[in-house]
Amino acid sequence: MNHTEEFEPHLAAAMQAAPSEIYLFDSATLRFVDVNQAARANLQYDFTQLQSMTPLDIAPGLPPDRLQAVLARLGDDIGAQVCMRTRHRRADGSSYPVTLHFMRVQRDGKQMIVALGDDRTAEHTAAEANYQYQLRFNTLASNMPGLVYQYVAHPDGSSNFPYLSEGCQNLLGVTVAQLQQQPGLFLKLILPEDRASWLETLSASTRNLAPLNWEGRIWIDGFNDIKWINVRATPNALIEPRGTVEWDGIMTNITASRRIQEEKDAAHARLAELTAHIEQAKEQERTRIAREIHDDLGGNLTAIKMALTMLARRLPADESLNSKVDYVDSLVDRTIDAIHRISLDLRPSMLDFGIVAALEWQCAEFEKQNGTTCAFTSSHKEIELSSDHATALFRVFQEALTNIAKHAKATRVDVSLAASGQQLSLTVTDNGVGIARQDQDKPGSFGLLGMAERAQALGGTLNVSRGADGGTAVAINIPLAAQDSR
């Protein structure tokens, strides 16, 4: 609008059709001279009614002196502008917020004022909705068992916490104001031995914009105590400045659950240690029994056989007596064979020749007893293992073959033993029907459980998976002491 332009008493057609409210009133009497269609529709008054009204009539909450003070700021200059906020009341009694922009104009020496009104109902509604949302969010955040936060990392290495819920002091021992003023305080709270993992996790989340999930310990001076906390957040890359990342997340106190887990881990470790001790004691007892059976019973049976032979030579030529002697002699032979077999089951003597020889012998025995091809390969002719480790690995292998014989319906088994660096790997693969995942986890799978426990007792792992030919592959990996392997 040209500041020197004079107005007719009535608004121009363009102003009449404008979507904003436009009022033209006399600066002396404040009576409306004209009001456009948008204003009349919003106020619910017709033009005749408005001609007898002033801005104070449609804004009853506006004090007259305040309106005069605002208009006085216009001065006498044509085209000068001021604005104010108030509420207009409609004919039905409802009201709405409005911003009025006043401009002084002149026609034939008579001063008038044009007021442009912006209905701010939508703005107020949005602001109220935002306020209610923020209020609900703050209420929810303050009642959550942890700290809801927003964290921002900038390319120059600085950071800040734009938002922290009231749980800050309860969890971290510092106030919201302290942490917002000193964002680096959070890193100082983390125990020195855990800081590297926090920085690495934060860096990975920054690089990949991946969800952040970290657990670590913090020291709380006020509580004189260490807490375990879990920090979870979702990152968002901000456009300005480029490289800035913002996280929205929650920190929670997991001290109680960590202590329970540590107690469970300690109990499991003690149980595993006890299991290993029991297995070692069982193997020692088996070895002792095997030797006693072999030495004592075997020796006694050998002496009985020799005495029976000498006695048979002195017996008279009696066919019935000779038949009984032959029967007793064969019975002694069968008993000696049984003792030999039981001794081998209790503690295979092949273990005295090393783990490679023992596994190769067991493969041959399995093939002979079950009629299933069992091929054995080893990366070394000899691999040094302690007696306990060799026995435990041999028992795992025996259990694997037992499972194949019972369930696999396989026609071929491939066994591979390999020593590489500080690792010893034993892989047993069959071409049978395979094992379903639910069968591995079902209650009563003590064979697999025992194999896993033995592998763990050796400091290693046991993995059961599907073989390349559709059967089952059992892989045992244990640490190998730095000894000569040939």
For position 203, which CATH number holds?
Answer: 3.30.450.20
Domain end among 346, 369, 395: 346
Domain end among 103, 119, 135: 119
Closest CA to 401 of 472, 353, 480: 472
Are 385 and 432 in a shared domain?
A: yes
Structure token digits, residue 149: 């936060």
The per-residue DSSP string of 118-145 comes to: EE-HHHHHHHHHHHHHHHHHHHHHHHSS
pLDDT of residue 4: 39
Q: Could you read off the pLDDT tens digit of each residue along the chain, which spans 486 residues? A: 444 344 445 778 888 888 899 999 988 899 999 999 999 999 999 988 998 999 999 999 999 999 999 988 887 666 678 989 999 999 999 999 999 999 888 766 778 899 999 998 888 777 777 777 666 666 655 666 788 899 999 988 899 999 998 888 889 999 999 999 999 999 999 999 999 999 999 999 999 999 999 999 999 887 788 999 999 999 987 766 778 999 998 999 999 888 888 888 888 778 777 877 777 777 777 777 877 776 777 788 888 888 888 888 887 877 788 888 888 888 988 888 887 778 777 777 778 889 999 999 999 989 999 999 999 999 999 888 888 888 888 888 988 998 899 888 899 999 999 998 888 999 999 998 887 666 665 655 566 777 888 888 888 899 988 877 778 999 999 998 644 444
Structure token digits, residue 480: 């190998």
Are 247 and 148 in a shared domain?
A: yes
pLDDT of residue 389: 86
Are 99 and 168 in a shared domain?
A: no
pLDDT of residue 211: 93
- CATH number of residue 431's parent domain: 3.30.565.10
d(CA 385, CA 407): 31
Structure token digits, residue 290: 């095997």
CB 390 within 8 A of CB 358: yes
Return all residues near 139 (Cβ < 8 A) that are at least 6 apart: none
- In a domain, residue 4? The reply is no
Are 19 and 106 in a shared domain?
A: yes
Are 69 and 160 in a shared domain?
A: no
Distance between start and end Cα atoms, the chain: 100
Question: Which DSSP symbol is given to 431?
Answer: -
- In a domain, residue 289? The reply is yes
d(CA 276, CA 458): 9
- In a domain, residue 5? The reply is no
Q: Which residue has the tokens 């619910």?
A: 44
Number of domains in the chain: 4
Give me the phi and psi of 418, to 5 degrees please: -140, 135
Are 176 and 234 in a shared domain?
A: yes
CA torsion angle for 293, 298, 299, 302 (degrees, to 10)?
Answer: 170
Are 280 and 202 in a shared domain?
A: no
CB 394 within 8 A of CB 441: no
Are 231 and 279 in a shared domain?
A: no
- In a domain, residue 137? The reply is no
Half-sphere exposure of 405 (CA within 13 A, CB side): 16
Are 321 and 366 in a shared domain?
A: no
pLDDT of residue 108: 64
pLDDT of residue 6: 42
pLDDT of residue 305: 82
Closest CA to 416 of 374, 384, 385, 387: 374
d(CA 367, CA 375): 9
- In a domain, residue 20? The reply is yes
Are 289 and 223 in a shared domain?
A: no
C-alpha distances in angstroms, 38 versus 25, 31, 34, 94, 177? 16, 18, 12, 17, 48
Distance of CA 86 to the CA centre of its chain: 53
Are 366 and 468 in a shared domain?
A: yes
- In a domain, residue 130? The reply is no
- In a domain, residue 231? The reply is yes
Domain end among 253, 287, 304: 253
- In a domain, residue 7? The reply is no
Are 330 and 360 in a shared domain?
A: no
d(CA 125, CA 134): 14
Structural domain of 171: 143-253
